[in-house]
Each structure stands twice: as C-alpha cells, then as structure tokens.
Structure 1
Amino acid sequence: MKNWKKNAALFLSGQALSIFGSLVVQHAIGWHIVLKSQSGALMTFYVLAAFLPMFLISPFGGIWADRFNRKHLINLADGSVALASLIVAILLMFGFDHYGILLFCSSVRALGQGIQMPAVGAFIPQIVPAQQLTRVNGLQSAIQSFSTLTAPLLAGTLMSVAPLEILFFLDVSTAALSIGILYFGVKTPRQSQANTPIQHSVSGYFSDLKAGLQYIWKHAFVFELIILAAIFTFCMSPAGFLTPLQTARNFGSEVWRLSAIEITFSAGTLLGGILISVWGGFKRKTATMALSCAVFGSLTIGLGLAGNFPLYVALMAAMGLVVPLYNTPVMVLLQTNVEAAYMGRVMSVFLMLGSALMPLSMLIFGPLADTVKIDFLLIGTGLVMALLAIPYLASKKLRAAG
C-alpha cells in the first residue's frame, strides 16, 4: 500500500480529535444531569440513551460499512453528531436547558457511534498492510486511552469556568477538523464489495444481516472468538462498573478516591496501547490474548482481596495496562482473517456485544451487589476470565487463524 504511513497517521489524528471532543461532551452531559438533578431515574434514562440506540443501529452500520464508501460513512456519522451538538449548543445559548434535549443529543451520539465504529474497524485494514495492523490498532488504543484520561479533566475545568454550550461548540470544532482531515488528507484504495447484488429494500437489509450472521456461523474461528469475547465482556462488567461502589464501601466515599481509580486505569490503558504498538505481542496472537485473560482475571481477583487503597489503585493501573493487550489482537485477528466484503457486518456484531452485554450484565450484577459483597463478585468473575486463557490456547481453529 503506497503512502500507508501517511494515510494511517492522518486517519488516527483525525479520529483522535473526534474521540476527544465526543468524550468531553459525554462527560459534560452525564455530570450536568448528576449535579443538577441528583436523580437515579434520570441517570438510568441517560445510560439507556447512550447505549440502546447504538445497539439497535450497529447491525445496519455494519451492513452500510460493507455496501458503501467507508470514508464517507465515517464522515457522515461524525457530521451528524456534530450537527446535533451544534443544535444543542444554540438551544442552550437561548436558555433551553432541558434534560430531554441532552438525552436526545445522547441518543443521536449513540446512533452516530453505532454507524461509525464498524466503519472505522473495517476501514483500517483498507489503508494499513496486514503485518502492521497490530501496531496501528495498538496506537489507536493508546490515543483513545489518552483521550479517556484527559477529556474528563478538560470537561471538569470548562464546566467550572464556562457555560455548558462551550463544550458542545468544542465538539463541533473537533468534528469539523476530523472530517476535513479524512476527506481531504486520507487517500483510500478501492473498497471490496460482497459478491451479492445490493438491495435497498428493508428485506434486502435483513438479507445482508442474515448473510453476515451466516458468515460468522460458517467460519468457526470467528464464531469461537465472538463467544469467548462475549464471556470476557460479560465478566469484566463488575470490574468496569462496580469498582467505584466497592471503593466507597471498602475505603471511603471521598471523591478523590474515585478520581484516583479512574485516572490510574486510564493511564494504564494508555501505557498498554503504547506497549502493544511497540512490542506487537507474541507471534501467535491467541497467546497474547490468553496471557491477557489470565493476567486480567488474576488482577480482578486481586481487587476482591485488596486490603488497602494504594494496592487497590496499583491493581487498577495494571488492569488498564492489560486491556489493550486483549482488545488489540482480537481486532487484528478479525481484520486479517475476515473477508473484506463482510468486515463491516462482523465488526458490527462485536459492537453489539459491547453495547448490549455490559449493560445487560449490570442488570444481574448491580442488584447482586446490594446482597452479595462486591469483593466476592470480582473474585468469581476474575476466576472465569482467567480460565478463558485455556480455550484461547487449546482451540485449534483459533490457533490456525493466528
């Protein structure tokens, strides 16, 4: 691929701007609702607005990523989200500060992500050589982690000194820069298309979705990978969502403690993204995934056993470090083995898992946390995640795929 380094650098730079602006607004919406309403019901509506539309649209997002120009699709999704932010910013300027407006904006943002993320996952192998995918995906993970680390700091600072609409205008600006970089700067080769005629009817969309699911079913390694990733995603939810509550119960409810675990985890993922980008992982990607499962599971068990806060924070940082060592080889294994014409639909299934399984698991683990100590939930789910290393190493089909 000619000039792939330039294309990859421009693409990642543009996406970094888009992600950063989106995260700033995401934190601003959530914090504004919490601080102004202090309502658990409104927070529930906010979570539903942020996840449910993504889950519903992502199958179609995958189909569109396989049918249409992914570059234009990414920009269209980014532009739609920016337009929603612009409308909200203008409404806020004129005093229309209503929760419904913010929830609507969250829903539009979720729809945009559900379209954009499968397209991004399918677009990267279109511009990056297969042997460089691990490093590029690792670098993308590091960039996302850096945004996750810095966006809440900027959001908190701006919210304390400026009106809320300023943060929405910031999102519009970063999206405009991202769209311009991708449209004018990134040159793309011809996109592979599925060997089936495009049907623009509703039945045609469901036929395409069915074809994508059949592709997953017929390719055993993809099916096995999705099942294992689903189990891992389900089991990591307590570590992702219940650790703030565990911290408050076990060590104290001071705000600085919650900030400490969030910042150290994000810093760990940043370092992990850099590590996998430089190192590239083991030659066999399933070995890297098995190691990360074993380590992440063991660290989760450690959270359930930690008796002091400094140790707890150190474990959170180490867990953050391991996350890219799992996510990156999973993504690369798909990008190097799935046919380009089906890439978007397979990516959308992974996105559906992430947007559905973690909230679904919290419907189970959330109420359990009020009757069972969170320590025990972490120990149990940590053990399951650690044991996932066995099928990753034992599966002949996964080992054959990479």
Structure 2
Amino acid sequence: MSTGPGADSAPAPTAPTSMFSSLRSRNYRLFASGQVVSNTGTWMQRIAQDWLVLSITGSASAVGITIALQFLPMLLFGLYGGVLADRLPKRPLLLFTQSAMGLAGLALAVLTLSGHVEVWHVYATAFVTGLVTVVDNPARQAFVAEMVGPKDLANAVSLNSANFQSARLVGPAVAGVLITAVGSGYAFLLNGLSFLAPVVGLLMMRTSELHKVERAPRGKGQLREGLKYVSAHPELIWPIVLVGFIGTFGFNFPIWLSAFVDDVFHGEASTYGLLNTLMATGSLAGALLAARRGASRLRLLVGAAALFGLLEIVTAFAPSFWLFAALMVPIGMFGLTVNVTANSSVQMATDPAMRGRVMSLFMMVFTGGTPLGAPLFGWITDTYGPRVGFAAGGLISLAAAVTVGLVLARVGGLKVAVGWRRGHPEVRFVERRKLIPAA
C-alpha cells in the first residue's frame, strides 16, 4: 500500500517486529490487560441487553432499535469526538469515559435486579453509552500511538482487535450461562464492575514513557479540515467508504443471530451465546494473523470484504444448525480482517496531528451507519424472515467490496485480468499498459 503523510520509517534492526512486539511497552501491557477485562464485561452486556429486549418485546425490530440508539450518537456527533480527542490529553479523557461507561452498566444492573426494568430503560442506557463512546473511541484509537510509538502501531492495532475478540470468546458464553441461571441483571453488574480494570491500568501508567504527540490547538474549522484531509487521500477515503457499507449492512449480527435462534432453530440464550463465541473464535484467529502480518494492504481489505459478504449469503441458507454454527467461524475471521486491515491502513497513512479526527470519521462511518442499518434489517427480518435479512446484508457487502476494489484499481492504475492458471480460473489486478504515441 502506498503510504501517506503519516507513514513511519523502517523498523530498527535491533527490535524486529513480532506477533506481540507492542507488548514490550509497560504502558501498553497495562492498557491491554485492563481492556481485556472490560471488553469481556462489554460482550456480556451486549448479549444480555439483546436477549432482554427480545424477551420483553418478542421483536427483532426492538433489538434493532436498541442497537440503533447505541450507535446514533456516533453518527450525529462522531466528528466532534475526534476534535476533542485531538485537542485534549488522552489519558485523563479515557479515565472519564471508562468510568462513565462503568456507571451506565451499574445503573442498568440496579434496574434489572430490582425488577423495575422496562424496554425504554435499555434504550436510554444504550443511548447514554453511545454518547460516551463518541469520545472514548477516537481517544482510545489515538492513545495507542502514544503508548507504543509509530514502529509498533500496526501491531498494537491488531492486538487490540485480538484482545477484543478474546473477550468475545468468554463474554457471550458467560452471559448465556448467567442469563439462563440467574437472569440478565448479573451480566450488567459484572460489566459495570469490569471497568475498574482499565481505570486502574490508566492510573498506573508512567506518563514519562508516553510518546509525545502534538495536540491540535483550539480553533475554527477543524471539522472541515479533517474532512478535507481525508478527501485528498484516496488511500484513506476508499477504505473508510468500504467499512461504512460493511458496518451498516453486513454487521447486524445481534438482529440476525437472535432471530435465527428464536425463530429458525428455537434455541435459548445459551445457543445465542454459543453462536457469538464461535464467531469470536474466527475473529480472534483473524486478529492474530493480522498481528503477524504487520503491514496492511488494500488488496487484502477488498478480498476479505468480498469473502465476508459471500459467506453471509451462503450461511443465510444453511439447512442445519450445526452447519450454520460452523460457518460463524470463517465469517468472524474475514469480518475481523476487514476491520483490522482498514483500521491499521488508515492509521498508518494519517498524520499524527490529524489521527483523532480521521479515526473518529472512520468509527463514525463504521459504527455510525448502524442506526440506519439496524432498524432497516430488523424490519426486513421481521417481515421476510431471518434468512432473507441475512442474505440481503451479505449481498450489499459483496457488491460494495467489488465496487471499491474496482475504484481502487483504477486509482492505482490497475485493471482486472481474468485468465487460467494451472487449470483453474484466476482473477487478479495488473498494471495498465501505457499507450506509446505514434512517431
């Protein structure tokens, strides 16, 4: 991939990059340890929240509304969160946001355990959590560079995703057991308490070991400046466009999986947790492979997005539960590969002073489209069934991958070549031949 203004120099030969090279930093080890605990709690809350709404209302559309409210603030205010992340010191900012999300989880736990919870309480908590995430997401993304420096940034981004997916292996399984045994309230309680881990980790960091990053001064036009910066760099804008389509239309798994479990396979909360755990297994494998690769290529991003969409279409019509469950693993792997490859590509090609605004745009597009996609696919799933809803999301994702791939090829002076190799059809990109003018 061609590098942009924020490209980093070649790594020093004395410290070669490995799958876990960013863990050499003490500050990053503290950060990663705290995040794996809070991420586990977050996944427990997600499963419990979706199942609680479904059990109260019996509607996939209501689950879609919950998800939409959680991500609506990112769509409305995401760019402002990036401006704040560029202006303010990130460690104190993260101490505030992580504490606020813990308190939101505890509030929902009290309502549920006291027997007073109603669906609007879940809606309100989801919206408040979304408001905090507007600032927390770009601040966490940009803070990684301050902990590990430019050399290990791509590795740390991949390990962050591996961290998140490791928690996803445990969280849904524990949530499924807790919901079945004692109810959703205890899952919310453990999530609220889990935020103590990142808060303690942030407090224990050695600020003298953080890499200095110049903060953006307060001024007018900073939102417009960020958008203009992205629009001037094709290596930024097209990955962001692609993850926008994938995030809006292809990542509505809470709607689809809860509907498949309830309407198609007639399972329980533990079955829903199992499907999420299987998807997380594939996602973790994808994250670790990305950490091992180090460098990110746009070619890999487009290919993974196309396979992700194709797998969703195939899985939508799986005739048996166990085939459906098995296909969750490759879906998770390719979905995570899309996320990590786009994330690290965009971060590595961005000037550090612009990283908060660029990453807020990235997250706004990736997750901010959910308020549009979730209610739409909740309605499609309720009206036409889970299989049609799932297949439609996969079809749009596949079409987006093909379209963006062709655009990037054209921008890069490439064209699609179709041929045969060793008796098999092959599709690849080759350089366009320049026409030689006649003498």
* TM-score grouping bracket, smaller chain normalisation: 0.7 to 0.9
Shift in CA distance, 397/10, structure 1 to aligned 2, threshold 3 Å: farther
- Equivalences for 1:285-300 in 2 at 5 Å? 285-300=297-312
Establish whether residue 228 from structure 1 lines up as the match of residue 242 from structure 2. yes
Q: Which residue in the other structure is 2:211 paired with? A: 189
Q: Is the 8 A contact 2:39 2:167 kept in 1?
A: yes
Establish whether residue 65 from structure 1 lines up as the match of residue 85 from structure 2. yes
Q: Is the 8 A contact 2:50 2:254 kept in 1?
A: no
For residues 352 and 144 of structure 2, what CA distance do their matches in structure 1 show? 11
Shift in CA distance, 125/397, structure 1 to aligned 2, threshold 3 Å: farther
For residues 357 and 146 of structure 2, what CA distance do their matches in structure 1 show? 15
Q: Which residue in the other structure is 2:396 paired with? A: 381
For residues 51 and 379 of structure 1, what CA distance do their matches in structure 2 show? 21
1:84 counterpart (104, 112, 115): 104
Q: Is the 8 A contact 2:158 2:344 kept in 1?
A: no
Q: Which residue in the other structure is 1:278 paired with? A: 292
SS in 1 for 2:369: helix
Establish whether residue 46 from structure 1 lines up as the match of residue 66 from structure 2. yes
Shift in CA distance, 297/51, structure 1 to aligned 2, threshold 3 Å: closer
Q: Offset of 1:378 from its aligned partner?
A: 5.6
For residues 242 and 39 of structure 1, what CA distance do their matches in structure 2 show? 12
Q: Is the 8 A contact 1:10 1:186 kept in 2?
A: no
Q: Is the 8 A contact 1:18 1:171 kept in 2?
A: yes
Shift in CA distance, 311/43, structure 1 to aligned 2, threshold 3 Å: closer
1:15 counterpart (24, 29, 35): 35
Judge which range, 33-42 or 126-135, deviates more: 33-42
Q: Which residue in the other structure is 1:324 paired with? A: 336
Q: Is the 8 A contact 1:57 1:115 kept in 2?
A: no
Establish whether residue 268 from structure 1 lines up as the match of residue 290 from structure 2. no
**Normalized against structure 2, the TM-score is what?**
0.76
Q: Which residue in the other structure is 1:350 paired with? A: 362
Q: Which residue in the other structure is 2:349 paired with? A: 337
Q: Which residue in the other structure is 2:160 paired with? A: 140
For residues 315 and 144 of structure 1, what CA distance do their matches in structure 2 show? 20
Q: Offset of 1:121 from its aligned partner?
A: 1.0
For residues 199 and 285 of structure 2, what CA distance do their matches in structure 1 show? 28
Q: Which ranges in structure 1 are unaligned for 5 or more consecutive residues?
A: none
SS in 1 for 2:152: helix
When the two chains are superposed, the root-mean-square deviation of aligned CA atoms in Å is: 3.4
For residues 183 and 325 of structure 1, what CA distance do their matches in structure 2 show? 32
Q: Offset of 1:210 from its aligned partner?
A: 2.0
SS in 2 for 1:130: coil
2:196 counterpart (176, 189, 192): 176
Q: Offset of 1:376 from its aligned partner?
A: 5.6
SS in 1 for 2:132: helix
Q: Is the 8 A contact 1:304 1:378 kept in 2?
A: no
Q: Is the 8 A contact 1:88 1:101 kept in 2?
A: yes
Q: Is the 8 A contact 1:80 1:112 kept in 2?
A: yes
Judge which range, 328-337 or 97-106, deviates more: 97-106
Q: Offset of 1:271 from its aligned partner?
A: 1.6
For residues 339 and 316 of structure 2, what CA distance do their matches in structure 1 show? 23
Give the helix-richer structure, 1 or 2.
1
Q: Which residue in the other structure is 2:171 paired with? A: 151
Q: Offset of 1:68 from its aligned partner?
A: 0.2
Q: Is the 8 A contact 1:7 1:185 kept in 2?
A: yes
SS in 1 for 2:25: helix
For residues 327 and 155 of structure 1, what CA distance do their matches in structure 2 show? 25
Give the number of aligned pairs: 388
Q: Deviations over 1:164-219 (max 9, x none)?
A: 5544442333212211111222532323123xx414xxxx4xx3222221222233
Q: Offset of 1:92 from its aligned partner?
A: 5.7
Q: Is the 8 A contact 2:44 2:171 kept in 1?
A: yes
Judge which range, 11-20 or 361-370, deviates more: 361-370
Q: Offset of 1:363 from its aligned partner?
A: 4.6
- Give the % identical residues: 23
Q: Is the 8 A contact 1:299 1:382 kept in 2?
A: no
Q: Offset of 1:158 from its aligned partner?
A: 3.0
For residues 184 and 254 of structure 2, what CA distance do their matches in structure 1 show? 27
For residues 96 and 243 of structure 1, what CA distance do their matches in structure 2 show? 27
Q: Which ranges in structure 2 are unaligned for 5 or more consecutive residues?
A: 1-14, 16-21, 415-428, 430-439
Amino acid at match of 1:380: L
**Normalized against structure 1, the TM-score is what?**
0.82
Q: Which residue in the other structure is 1:253 paired with? A: 266
Judge which range, 253-262 or 212-221, deviates more: 253-262
Amino acid at match of 1:122: A
Amino acid at match of 2:190: L
Establish whether residue 396 from structure 1 lines up as the match of residue 412 from structure 2. yes
Q: Offset of 1:63 from its aligned partner?
A: 0.9
For residues 95 and 307 of structure 1, what CA distance do their matches in structure 2 show? 39
